[in-house]
Amino acid sequence: MAKKAFDQYRAHVDVVVALLGLSPAEAKVFTEPNRVIEKILKVTIGGEERELSAYRVQFNNARGPYKGGIRFHPGADLDEVKSLAAMMAIKCAVVDIPMGGGKGGVTFDPKGLSKPDIETVSRAFARAFATDLGPLKDVPAPDVYTNGEIMAIMLDEYEKVTGTKAPATFTGKPIELGGIPGRDTATALGGVFVLEAYVSEHGLDSKNLRVAIHGFGNAGATAATLLYERGYKIVGLSDSKGAVMSARGLDPMKFQEVKNQNKSLRDMYCQGSVCDEGLLERESVVVGDPNAVLAMDADIIIPAALDGVITNEVAEEMHAKIILELANGPVTAEADTILEKRGIDIIPDVLANAGGVTVSYFEWEQNIKGTTMTREEVNERLKQVMAKAWQSVSKFAKEHHITYRTAAFALAAKRILAASLTKK
């Protein structure tokens, strides 16, 4: 049976506890959240009165206000949210921004609901948690099935309830309400900056590197385009319906046009189960199931969609030498061990996808100070943060002869513990 999300996180923490020789009290900082808040939202949606479970896990704020998204999802549970809150604390410490870790959500399915119904739930959440949030206390952001518009609604309700003007309470907002340019591409661009730092350090040539991307949502599609523009050869792309692969190379922008029409990637070549064999042959393309890209002949694999997709079995079949984790937790703890033995480098999620929270921090900071930044300024500052974070993680890994994941977790743990001692 697969481990639950928090057990996967704990497996990484246990390695760090042993490496750093942490005491039980020190280890507790990374295994027990500061606070778990559970509430029931009584709302009328779809013309029916409903009671929805809502929660916020405030994991650790030793380095700054709790930071993390709010998700609307029928399958969201406290185990998952607790894991993501803990990972956020680690992530912020890895890139050395002064924020802590939090996460929250509402257990319901927003699909098919009207905008007024979703606004009702959004305002109910903001009212219920108003005393638990704040620019110097806990700063939420968009997550699964939430967006900038929902953050704007929550901010409006929060300010009504508290009688304050506090745009820094939520990030990921529309630009006109204090949002920041560059947030839309930040996760992917941050990952690209880290990969470029890795490639440079190892003396590799991007034009000789073949990349396959699992997941063609915002992060995956943006990363594909950014890497294509930088000369990397994109040899595989997948979404939830299937994979498209070609040793000759693929232009991700052509597939983005297909996705913009609400079609799947394989629709470029297939209608249902019937594919245009002539077109596939002319373009040297092979179609397959979504996970086919994970084991294909490529130098770099970028899981950018789901957690837990690289299992023991997949790890044994992989041909890549580098994995860039744009998704949260795409490699299981057990697969980590197999990949390490096989000499496959993992650039871990707590570093690789930290561009999003880094730019959210920039937004929070500009709201606090009353300043603004251009997209160019945001991207340049993001590059500096991610490159510096990579250098720190890489140096720590070399000094201790450990994987990049263990180095990232250990470096973050040391920073969080140092801050915890300072606060006492």
Positions annotated as catalytic residues are 103
Helix axes 78-94, 5-20, angle to 10 degrees: 40
Report the phi/psi class of residue 219: left, alpha or beta, with left for phi > 0 and alpha for psi in -120 to 50.
alpha
45 token code pair: 């949606």
In 3D, which of 19, 6, 4, 2 has the Cα closest to residue 408? 19
Burial of 189 (0-12, 13-18, 19+ CB in 10 A): buried
Whole-number Cα distances in Å, 340 to 58, 296, 334, 345, 380: 32, 19, 10, 7, 33
CA geometry: angle 111, 145, 12, nearest 5 deg:
130
How many angstroms separate the CA atoms of 135 and 61, rounded? 13
Read off the amino acid at residue 100: G
- E strands, 180-321, are 210-214, 233-239, 242-245, 270-271, 274-275, 286-288, 300-303
Read off the amino acid at residue 352: A
Strand partners, 56: 37, 104
